[in-house]
Structure 1
Amino acid sequence: MTPDEFTQREFTQRIIQSPRPSIVVFGITEERTTRDTVQAAREFATGTTYRVHVIDIGHSAELAEEFLIMASPTIVVIHQGTPVAQATGSQSVEEIARLTAGAAQ
């Protein structure tokens, strides 16, 4: 799994300003819980309008700080430029579906 590498400006342009909702997984990509959560997020996103992004908090500390990420993994759902949901810890497909229930699909 290769994490996305964004500058703050790129993150804003590609995720915050995107018309499509995003599931952003912040984590340490070498950790199994992060890998499992990314796999579940990608499985959930198949057939939806969601895009999945992976941010390695070890390489993108400024983005992790901006979203107050305190644990790995943490999922942030972003829709229309706003974080609309957040969860910490390993997440299943079903848990991600519940997390995204309030955002556009």
Structure 2
Amino acid sequence: MKLSLLLIFLLFCIGFYGLCVGKTVIKSIFNLTIAQTALILLFFQLAYAPNASPPILNQGSTGIWVDPYPQALMITDIVIGASITSLALMFSIKIYHHYGTLTWKKFMNKD
């Protein structure tokens, strides 16, 4: 588990670093998606319970059940993340048509 948490942290750091130093709008959107994926993986890893059964009531079922709330939240996060990514890509197309560039430096210097 510690190795998987370390890899998730590394993935988040890669996405956050790329978001901070990205030179274009598209790279920033891509790195934001990487950081979001790392957070989703973190929630799934923390909610994992070995040898747990799904939360479905069967006759005589006892033992450890998986908590369905983190899974439901992450499915919602995936849908919201896909919507935000598509909206950001649409805005990047509008930025390119208006300013003629997707580079942050040129975009921020234009009036």
Q: TM-score range by the shorter chain?
A: under 0.3
Structure with more strand by fraction:
1
Q: TM-score, normalised by structure 2?
A: 0.26
Q: TM-score, normalised by structure 1?
A: 0.27
- Structure with the greater alpha carbon radius of gyration: 2
